[in-house]
Amino acid sequence: MKFEKDQIIDNRYTVVFPQAQDSYSETYRVRDEQRRLHFLTLYNHDLLPADSIDELGEVKVIAMRRCISHPNVCAYEDAGSFDMGQQHFSYIITQFVSCETLEAHLKRLPNMKVEDTRQITLTLLRLLRQLHTLPQPVVHGHISTKSILLDLTGQLTDIRLSGFGLQCKPVTESEIRADLHDVGSLLYRLCFGMEAQHPPRMPNVMPTGMDQQLLAVIAKALNDNGFSSADEMIKSILGTIDIDVTSLEGSSLLGNSAHQNNRPKGNGFADVAGMEELKTLLNESVLYVLRDQERAKRYKLNIPNGMLLYGPPGCGKTFIAERFSEEAKYNYRFVKSSDLASTYIHGTQEKIGMLFEEARANAPTVLCFDEFEAIASKRIEHHNANLSGEVNELLTQLNNCGQDRVFVIATTNQPELIDPAVLRRGRMDHIVYVPMPDSTAREGLFRIHLANRPCSDDINYGRLAALTKDYIASEIAFVCDQAALNASRTNTDIDQELIEQVVRQTKPRTSRETQQYYEKMRKRLENIQDERRSIGFITG
């Protein structure tokens, strides 16, 4: 910032507080000679593009602001210019309001209600509707949480739009669409607590109060073929006009997005090769109770809440979770740690609560948490109270969630990082090791991955299983895919020699040390003896 507190600008205005800065301007809270407060936005001519200054040497955006009169824009009051050394500056004085940026508000109170978000957006759009239809239309060009001021003396929806861009030229349709795209990005940020990506995706957790109409508005605003006018977007939010969602086909915000209830379409445990002990465990100890909870209550059986699947990477933990949901005929929700991430204080904690709330509302549901150690890490290692709060929220939600027909399956490669309280019975009722595939499982994997492909009659599946000791499921899948690719180049059948050639070129990546680590971890977590046999493997 060019000026600091108590310095005087143009011999007239004393800096009270440096407010904000961007690439071409600085904004200050200042007092005039009568000690009245104002906002002062300062422009350094050396930093401005040549086309942002008119033929009289005035900054175009200052001239434009003189023509804007609207209760949601800080009113124009004065302007001036001065020289400092070899540099020339211009400034504009606007009405002062006791305010904070929307960005600052969200850092203090991140969980804004959807209805408040809707009203802020409508207020902003009504302002843009006037700006875009002035005799000399104006676009903003920099709409974000940093350019919206919340009046601290009024309602939450009493906003001021600041930080107008330099574009004071004939307004085009594309520039109007860009403003409305920014509004869509703002709406996404307010609803979901994260910046909209391109292409935007829908987080797993839906905020309370979100409806399909508002979801469709966000999808269209962020689509390449977005809204053509602020009035159209206003009417869409209010529901007075419908959005043609077919024109948004392919948007990850609509259709089979992650927040919807999805039941995997497969054959359940029939798609699982081996793993007989695991399938028996799940059928007799978990699925039996989940399928008939009335009988479980009559016999006072504990309804299970969750299960931890752990083991080396690439051995099919997520696959068994999907097959489990098919057997249980439950909705299936896959949750990554990034889906629950938030830049706001307590934001992740709130998202965990909303995730379980929605799962209960749409029960029966299987929640499959991937890389569970990132969500439920040991609290003793947290130096941040917020992170401990997130684990505490998860513990609370896990208690008795099975009674609400919500079953949690957590998968991890690093179980030692998980908080012990999460692993106790009553939360994770079963802790199951998913090992490297044994010979029978490897043979089954080759049969499945080569099925319905042009193969010769000489394939010896037993020999292939013997040649791929220490291979994980994903590596066997790669061998089959690579063999098929090589055969396709010569338009020939996949034969034994071709597969063996790929096997020789593809070395397993799971070391003996890694396998030994997981065996030790298995003994510690399950308190089993060395001679206990493996539970087998799954296909995937």
Domain spans, the chain: 8-95, 99-248, 268-433, 439-509
- Say whether pLDDT at 135 is over 60: yes
DSSP states along 333-363: EEE-GGGG--SSTTHHHHHHHHHHHHHHHT-
Tell me what the mean pLDDT of segment 88-97 comes to: 94
How does DSSP assign 441-457, residue by residue? HHHHHHHHHHTTS-B-T
Instruction: Give the pLDDT score at 129.
Output: 95
* pLDDT tens-digit readout, 249-307: 545 555 444 344 466 667 888 777 767 777 888 888 888 888 887 888 888 888 889 99
pLDDT of residue 435 exceeding 50: yes
Q: What is the predicted pLDDT for the residue at 251?
A: 54
User: Which two tokens mark 396?
Assistant: 């609370």
What is the token pair recorded at 210?
Answer: 């979100």
Residue 539: what pLDDT?
Answer: 47
SS3 148: strand
pLDDT of residue 246: 59
Residue 528's pLDDT band (cuts 50, 70, 90): very low
Residues sharing a CB contact under 8 Å with residue 378, sequence separation 6 or more, in sequence order: 417, 418, 419, 420
- Model confidence at 342: pLDDT above 80: no
HSE at residue 377, side-chain half, CA atoms within 13 A, is 14
Mean pLDDT confidence for 158-169: 81
According to CATH, the superfamily of the domain at 99-248 is Transferase(Phosphotransferase) domain 1 (1.10.510.10)
CA-closest candidate to residue 487, choices 461, 459, 448: 459
CATH architecture of the domain formed by 268-433: 3-Layer(aba) Sandwich (3.40)
Cα-based distances in Å from 125 to 71, 131, 153, 159, 245: 13, 10, 22, 12, 21
The per-residue pLDDT for range 436-463, each reduced to its tens digit, is: 888 888 888 898 889 889 999 999 999 9
pTM given for the model: 0.55
**How does residue 167 score in pLDDT terms, banded at 50, 70 and 90?**
low
Q: Is the pLDDT of residue 540 over 70?
A: no
Residue 62 binned pLDDT confidence (cut-offs 50, 70, 90): very high
Q: What is residue 90's predicted lDDT score, i.e. its pLDDT?
A: 95
Q: Domain 439-509 is in which class?
A: mainly alpha
What's the CATH fold of domain 8-95? Phosphorylase Kinase; domain 1 (3.30.200)
pLDDT digits (tens, 9 = 90+) for 187-233: 999 988 888 876 666 665 667 777 778 888 998 998 888 899 999 99
pLDDT at 344: 65
Dump pLDDT digits (tens) for 11-28: 999 999 998 888 888 999
pLDDT greater than 80 at residue 154 = no
Taking Cα atoms as reference points, which of 98, 140, 136, 105 lies closest to residue 120? 105
Compute the average pLDDT of residues 49-70: 88
Is pLDDT above 90 for 529?
no
Cα angle value 399/400/405 (rounded, 5°): 130
Q: How does the average pLDDT of the chain come out, rounded?
A: 85
What is the widest separation between alpha-carbon atoms in the chain? 97
